[in-house]
Homo-oligomer: A and B are copies of this chain.
C-alpha cells in the first residue's frame, strides 16, 4: 500500500496511481484529522470522494502517528492527549474518537486504536502497554459496531438520525502489540482473536529495533494469526523485506520508503539502490532501470533525472516517485505470481515450481 498521508500520494496524481495498478492506498488519520479535519472530509462525502480515488483505502488509527510525531503526548486509560506537530494545539484521541474519525473518513479498512510500545521497553512496560491496547481494541470494536452505519458514503455526508442497518460497511482490523517479547506477542494475538476481527495487523515494529529482531517477532506472531484472514504488517519495508515477509505469510504492508526515498533521489532498481544525485550519473544516458517499463524509465535518462534532482525540480520528485512505486508494485506482482505458482504446485506436482519463485524465497 503506497502511503497517501494527506489524501495524496506525494507527487503522483490519482490517474497515474491507477495506471500503476495501485489497488489500495493508506491514509493517515492523525494528519487528516488536523488537515483538512474529519468533519470537512465527512461533509465532502468521505476520503474516496474528497480525493477522487475509487479504489480501496485503509486508514491507520492515529496511534502510531501520535507516538512518532507528537512530542508532548500523555497516555491515560481513557486515551492520548497530544499536541499538533503543526501548531502545538492540544488534542485528544480515545478508542472511541479515533474510530469515529475513521468512520468519518470512510476508508474501506480501518484500524483499532492502539498504543505503539516504544523500543526498548522492559517486560512489565510491554505487558502493560499490550493490556492497554487490548482494552482499547474492545472499546474500538464496541464503538465501531454501534456506529459503522454512519460512514459518509452511506449517509450522503451528514450523520442521519436513524441510519439504515443494511448495505456494506467498513471493516475494523485489530492490532497485535507486545513489544519484542514473543510470549507477549502470542498472548496479544490470541486475545485479539478472542475479541474477533476480520483482519489482524502486527504493530509496534520498525520502531528502532534491529531488522533481525523484527523478522523474529513477525515470524513468531504470524504463527498465532489465522491464515484465512488478512495479516497486515505495519510500516514495512524495503523491497527485500516485503518479499521476505510476503513469503512468511504477510498479506498487506505499507511503507513511506518508496515515496519518501524517491523525493530524496534514492531509487530502487533491478540492479540495486541508486542515489541519483551523485555526480557519476551526470552524463549517464541510460535509463534509470533497464528492466523497468515505467513512464520514467521508458522516457528519461539518468542524466536528466540527476539534473532534476540537483536542481530541486518538482519533476524529479514526480518521476522518481513513479519509478519507486512501480518497482514496489512490480515486486509485489512478482510475489503474487510466485504464490500462484506455489499453489498450483501443491495441486499438480513439483515441476511447476519456477526459478523465479526460488529467487524470491528468503
Contacts and interface: CB of A to CB of B under 8 A. Distances in A.
Contact of A36 (B15, B295, B310): B310
Contacts of A310: 35-36
A299 interface: yes
B303 A35 contact: no
A51 B314 contact: no
A196 B10 CA distance: 50
Interface residues of A, number: 37
Contacts of A45: 285
Contacts of A12: 315
Interface string A1-29: 00000111011111100000000000000
A1 to B, nearest CB: 18
Interface string A286-322: 0000000001000111011001101101110111000
Given A44-B303, A282-B40, A285-B44, A311 B15 contact: no
Smallest CB-CB A-B distances: 5 pairs: A8-B315, A11-B314, A36-B307, A52-B299, A6-B311
Interface of A: 6-8, 10-15, 35-36, 40, 43-45, 50-52, 282-283, 285, 295, 299-301, 303-304, 307-308, 310-311, 313-315, 317-319
A61 to B, nearest CB: 21
Given A295-B13, A303-B44, A314 B317 contact: yes
A288 to B, nearest CB: 13
Contacts of A307: 6-7, 35-36, 50
